[in-house]
Structure 1
Amino acid sequence: MLEYLVLYESRSGNTKKIAAAIFSNLPGNSKDLIDITTDKSIPEAKVYFIGFCVNCGTCSMEVSDFINGLGGKRIALFGTCGMGDSPDYYKAIEKSVHAWIENDNDYLGAFICQGKMPRKVREKYEFMRAPENEAQMDMYIRNFDEALTHPDSLDIEHAKVFTQKCLKRLDEMDGEFKTRNTTQF
């Protein structure tokens, strides 16, 4: 059994970049980095960092099914989202994906950042632009343009900080477990 497994789904390469940053900041050699869409033989691990690309405010069914199948594990979530840098929206995404985690798992938190979108999305916004929704479509187009550089170096650094926070939380959990078990005797 691995200590850490960084498992991700990435359609445009955004989530893969974040997965690589998380993986490189995990200690030791008992770890693996796996794309859930290409590798169907997924090893068991104690700690799972599960990444996804956001579509319609949540993860894909493949990712949710995997999350829902885990029991007695420690789970951290991460994702990339084309829509703007909105903490409220990111919290809603986290809540939506977190709902798939069974209660017997330990949840370590989530990291979500902006990611670039395919050119066809901008073209769709341009096509949909009409006098009655001009302001909204202009906002979507501005957001698309701002997202073109993401995930950027700051997003990568934030992913590394997130990883360190998760590792610290794991240490705290292990310390609590040891304290509970030594006081019972």
Structure 2
Amino acid sequence: MLDYLVLYQSETGNTKKIAATIFAHLPGNSKDLIDLDAAKEIPEAQTYFIGFCVHRGSCSMAVSDILSSLSGKNIALFATCGMGNSPDYYQAIEKNASAWIEDDNQYLGAFICQGKMPRKVRQKYEAMRTEENAAQMDMFIRNFDEALTHPDSLDEEHAKVFVNKLLMGT
């Protein structure tokens, strides 16, 4: 059994970048980094770091299936999402995803940061913009533009701090 397993699902590379940062800051050699979409099998570990890209405020069904299948483990979540620095939204994401974790596990917390979105998202916002919703669509477009640089070095530093805090507590 591994000490640590970093599992992730990444569509645009954002979550993969954070997964690599987390993996690099885990101690020892009893660890692995696995892309869920490419995994043939998932080894057992004492502590799981499970990452995902956010869709509609939560994780994918593949991630929820993994979360609900674990028993007696330490579990930490991490995610990237297009919407900007919104602590309330990040808390809602954490609540929605962590709901899949069975009670006999020890939930360690979550790290969530902004991530860039595909160009088609901005084009969708532009096409949806009307006089009536201009303020909201302009806000979405500004957020899209802000997200283009994320996850950035500060996001990676925050991921390292998250890992260090968890290692001190487990």
Q: Give identity over the alignment, percent.
A: 74
Aligned equivalents of 1:168, 1:104: Cα separation in 2: 21
Aligned equivalents of 1:51, 1:167: Cα separation in 2: 17
Structure 2 counterpart of 1:47, one-letter code: T
Q: Report the CA distance between 1:39 and its aligned residue.
A: 1.0
Q: How does 1:161-180 map onto structure 2 within 5 Å?
A: 161-170=161-170
Superposed CA RMSD: 0.4
SS at 2:123's partner residue?
helix
Q: Report the CA distance between 1:127 and its aligned residue.
A: 0.2
Aligned equivalents of 1:4, 1:125: Cα separation in 2: 40
Unmatched segments (≥5 aa) in structure 2: none
Q: Report the CA distance between 1:106 and its aligned residue.
A: 0.3
Unmatched segments (≥5 aa) in structure 1: 171-185
Corresponding position of 1:114 = 114
Indicate the structure (1 or 2) with the bigger Cα radius of gyration.
1
Corresponding position of 2:77 = 77
Corresponding position of 1:5 = 5
Q: Aligned residue pairs: how many?
A: 170
Aligned equivalents of 1:138, 1:152: Cα separation in 2: 23
SS at 1:132's partner residue?
coil
Q: TM-score, normalised by structure 2?
A: 0.99
Structure 1 counterpart of 2:45, one-letter code: A
Q: Deviations over 1:19-52 (max 9, x none)?
A: 0000000000000000001113110000000000
Q: Deviations over 1:43-85 (max 9, x none)?
A: 0000000000000000000000100000000000000000111
Q: TM-score, normalised by structure 1?
A: 0.91
Corresponding position of 1:103 = 103
Corresponding position of 2:32 = 32
Aligned equivalents of 1:16, 1:102: Cα separation in 2: 25
